[in-house]
Amino acid sequence: MSRVELLSPEGLRIDGRRPAELRKITSTTSVLSQADGSAYLEHGNTKVLAAVYGPREARHRALVIHDRAVLNVELNLAPFSTGERRRRNKNDKRLLEIAQFVKQTFEPVVITTLYPRSQIDIYFQVIQHDGGTLQACINAATLALIDAGIAMTDYVCACTAGWVEREAAIDLNYTEESADTSEMTIAMLPKSSKITLMQMESRLHVDKLDEVIALAGEGCKQIHEVLDKTVRDRAEDLARKMAV
């Protein structure tokens, strides 16, 4: 079987992007009326809906921590989200792992000590999967948490980067992801440039690591601008409506 050519001789990727070019990001907040905060985010064809409930009374006694809030993250992949239609088990290890990553990413950023004995639930619905699910989930969660008015020290912006054939490339899509490329997701606090998550499952030559990290970090900064605009527009809109 011949391998798919991921990088054209002109240096363009399979979907026509340049290596350091992000896919188009669209985002809206407050899309669900029942949730305390919600967001819908698209990275190209990857579409995620995030809903935040809380901080609210912990549903199970065992969950209660007396001096801070508990984060609970659940992820669901719609059966129609992938190329091959398939219903996934709720206990799919892959999904549980992503949920766990999101939880670990947000635990140091959300100021949970302000909400003792309560619980914050983050639910994701992946509507379309085209690579970069984890980054899309983290970015959507950031928007939804801010929309719910939950205190955080900073935004969390996530971005993937990898080594595609002979160059570092950003924001890999499904074709690139599945073609045995080494891919890394990092989540960053854009104001301080601190990294809260760094995840990689494949091999990458150590000489290329710095370049990939730098590229992903650059992507996080760009994503931050997009998210910040969404949040700011929404806040200004509400403030103006309330000023009437």
Question: Footprint of other proteins on this chain (CB under 8 A)?
Answer: 30, 36-37, 54-57, 66, 111, 115-118, 146-155, 189-191, 228, 231-232, 234-236, 238-244
Nearer to other proteins, 79 or 116 (CB): 116
| Cα dihedral 204/181/200/222 (nearest 10) | 100
User: Which value, to the nearest 10 degrees, does the dihedral of the CA atoms of residues 132, 135, 136, 137 take?
Assistant: 120
Q: What's the min distance (Å) between Cβ of 227 and other proteins?
A: 9
Dist. CA 102–CA 130, nearest whole Å: 18
Compare residues 148 and 172 and give the one whose CB is closer to other proteins.
148
CB of 241 to other proteins, least distance (A): 4
- Least gap, CB of 113 to other proteins (angstroms): 11
Task: Round to whole Å and give the CA distance between 240 and 238.
Answer: 5
Nearer to other proteins, 86 or 232 (CB): 232
Please state the closest distance from residue 189 (CB atom) to other proteins, in A.
Answer: 7
Alpha-carbon span 102 to 98, nearest angstrom: 6
Closer CB to other proteins, 75 or 143, in the complex: 143
Sheet architecture: strand order including 46-57: 25-29, 37-43, 46-57, 118-128, 70-77
Asked if 137 and 144 touch (Cβ cutoff 8 Å), the reply is: no
